Amino acid sequence: MNLIDPAELSGFLDREMTEERRQEIRQLVANTASLREELESLTSADSRWRAAARSAAFPVEIRLHREKILAISPVQAAVLTALLLAIRFLPKLVSTLTLGLALNGIALAIVIAWVIAMTRETENRMSASI
């Protein structure tokens, strides 16, 4: 092919084309002053920009584990919440209701606390994803 798409000068500069096409472009550039000037201008700008961009890099140290937001596990959170509720309300319940009902209440509190803890955990995971 004797014609050249101007964008191919970028491909040539970046070595992002087949060797065969590079050879063709090399010949076209050698025979055409305007193409030669264009390529020289691109090459010069490219090397300046490359050097400038390289100076922006700096060393970074990373960790591959997220800091835990919850200091206690969901199970611990659920049990602790249930215990606090039991301490607060059990005396009143025993005097007025049967012990069975009170135990059901505690079980319900454990389930609610568990759901809350799991929800927080899920939110943490969601905020960690893109």
Partner 1 sequence: MDAERQYALLIEPLLGPAAGYARAILRDRQNAQDAVQEAALRGLERFRTFDTSRPFKGWWFAIVRNCCIDILRRMAATKTERLDELQLPQAPESAVTDWEALGAAMAGLSDQHREILRLRYFADLSYRELAEALGIANGTVMSRLHLARKALQARMGEEES
**Min separation Cβ 112 and partner 1, Å:** 29
Count of residues that interact with partner 1, criterion CB under 8 A:
33
Q: Give, in degrees to the nearest 5, the angle at Cα 111 between 109 and 117.
A: 100
If one asks whether residue 56 binds partner 1 (CB under 8 A), the answer comes out as yes
- Cβ atoms 17, 8 nearer than 8 A: yes
For partner 1, give the closer residue by CB, 34 or 95.
34
Nearer to partner 1, 8 or 102 (CB): 8
Is 62 near partner 1 (CB under 8 A)?
yes
Can you list the positions of beta strands (E) in the chain?
A: none
* Minimum distance, C-beta of residue 18 to partner 1, in the bound complex (Å): 13
Q: Indicate the residue among 47 and 76 with the shorter CB distance to partner 1.
A: 47
**Which residue is listed with tokens 């040539």?**
12
At residue 58, the 3 state secondary structure works out as: coil
Number of H helices, E strands in the chain: 5, 0
- C-alpha–C-alpha distance, residues 73 and 116, integer Å: 12
Q: By the criterion CB under 8 A, which residues form the site for partner 1?
A: 5-11, 14, 16, 41-42, 45-46, 49-60, 62-66, 128-130
